[in-house]
Structure 1
Amino acid sequence: MNREQWRPFLKRWSEEWIAGHDREGDGPLEDAVVRDGWLGFAPAGADEVAAAEARLGRPLPPSLREFLLTTNGWRNTGFFIYRLAGASELAWLADSDESSWIEAYSDTEFADEDEGEEPEGEILARALCLSLDCDGAVIFLDPADVDERGEWAGYWLASWSGEGPKRFGSFHDLMCDQYTSFRRLRDRRA
Structure 2
Amino acid sequence: MFKRLNTSSIRATNKTIFREPQSVLIFQSKWYSLKSNNRITTWLNYVHEVDQRQKELEQTPESQKIISLMNSIEDKPELVYILAAFLHDLKSIGIDQNNDPEVRTKLKWKFRVYYLLKLLKMHNVFWEQCRFLEMSQHRHILNFDPVDIGLLDPSNFPKDVFDELQSGKYKSINLKTIDPVGVFARNPFRD
Same fold (TM over 0.5): no
Based on CA coordinates, which of the two structures has the bigger radius of gyration? Answer: 2
TM-score between the two structures when normalised by the length of structure 1: 0.23
TM-score between the two structures when normalised by the length of structure 2: 0.22
Q: Which has the higher strand share?
A: 1
